[in-house]
Structure 1
Amino acid sequence: MSNCKIEASAKSLLQYYPDDLEESLPEEMIHFSTLIKQHHFNSECKEIQMFKFINENEFAHAFPNVSVVFKLYLCLMISNCSGERSFSALKRVKNHLRSSMRQKRLNSLAILCIENDILQKIDTDDIIKSFALSKSRKCVI
């Protein structure tokens, strides 16, 4: 990108995050882009590599706003994906066959479906046995 495009993009970013970024962001971005042009990063995950480059070489003090921009950018990708996965899981749980389900049960099933990796690690045999004993109609002597 040219310096004019970098400056324009940085100014538009300042409008969205005025509390997080300082007015010196456009100049920092231009200086950072000239520094980055000297280094070659792999084509995959360039943003993560650049963020690691800033932290490993202790450039966070020289480019504080650039560091904040990378943190914002890298966090936004993760939070967006997990939210979309949660809605996809909710769509699988709440279908036309389960349309009369109450909210509490729907929430519980959605959490079980979303956090399936944690659920797989839990030993459910003890839980099932205690539930079966508490709900059984026969008295065990």
Structure 2
Amino acid sequence: MNETDLHSSVQKFVDAYSVDVSNDLIQEMDEIKKIHTANFGEDQLQPFELLNSLNKYKLTTLFPNCCIALRIFCTLPVTVAEGERSFSKLNHIKNYQRSTMTENRLTDFGTLAIESKLARQLNFDNIIDHFASLKARKAHV
């Protein structure tokens, strides 16, 4: 990227995130471009790799705005597909279970379906035993 395009792109970023970064980001980006080859080699680094390299070489105090900008850039969602999947999954569950489930239970069930990878890692034996003991006490009373 040439210097003019870089400066205009950085200025747009600074304008959008003026609370988080200052105009010093432009100078920091120029300095990083100058020292990039000496510190990081000839290869172009991805944003996440650059952020990790800045942390590794303890350069975060020299380039604080750049580190903040990289953290913002690395955490911004690229697409809204995750949210769309969540809503489509909830619609599927809601249509299937609508007549037999309360709103709270439906929300909890939707969360389990959306976070299915995490739910598969859980051990439900203790939860099932506790639930069964509660039901057993109700039966004896």
Q: Which residue of 2 aligns with 1:40?
A: 42
Supply the distance in 1 between the matched residues of 2:26 and 2:52 (Cα, whole angstroms).
Answer: 21
The 3-state SS of whatever aligns with 1:8 is helix
RMSD: 3.1
State the AA in 2 paired with 1:40. Answer: E
Q: Which residue of 1 aligns with 2:97?
A: 98
Q: How much identity, in percent, do the aligned residues show? A: 25
The structural deviation recorded for 1:130 is 4.0
Q: Which residue of 2 aligns with 1:53?
A: 53
Give the ranges of 4+ consecutive aligned residues of structure 1 lying more than 4 Å apart after TM superposition: 78-85, 136-140
How many residue pairs match? The answer is: 137
What runs of 5+ residues in structure 2 fail to find an aligned partner? none
1:26 maps to 2:26? yes
- Change in Cα spacing, 1:48 to 1:106, as seen in structure 2 (3 Å) is same
Supply the distance in 1 between the matched residues of 2:31 and 2:54 (Cα, whole angstroms).
Answer: 13
- Change in Cα spacing, 1:126 to 1:32, as seen in structure 2 (3 Å) is closer
Matches within 5 A, 1:45-84: 46-77=46-77, 83-84=83-84
Supply the distance in 2 between the matched residues of 1:29 and 1:73 (Cα, whole angstroms).
Answer: 14
Supply the distance in 1 between the matched residues of 2:58 and 2:126 (Cα, whole angstroms).
Answer: 51
The structural deviation recorded for 1:24 is 1.4
**Larger helix fraction of residues:** 2
- Change in Cα spacing, 1:138 to 1:64, as seen in structure 2 (3 Å) is closer
What runs of 5+ residues in structure 1 fail to find an aligned partner? none
State the AA in 1 paired with 2:113. Answer: C
- Contact 1:41-1:49 at 8 Å conserved across structures: no
Q: Which residue of 2 aligns with 1:115?
A: 115
Q: Give the TM-score, by structure 2 length.
A: 0.74
Matches within 5 A, 1:3-18: 3-18=3-18
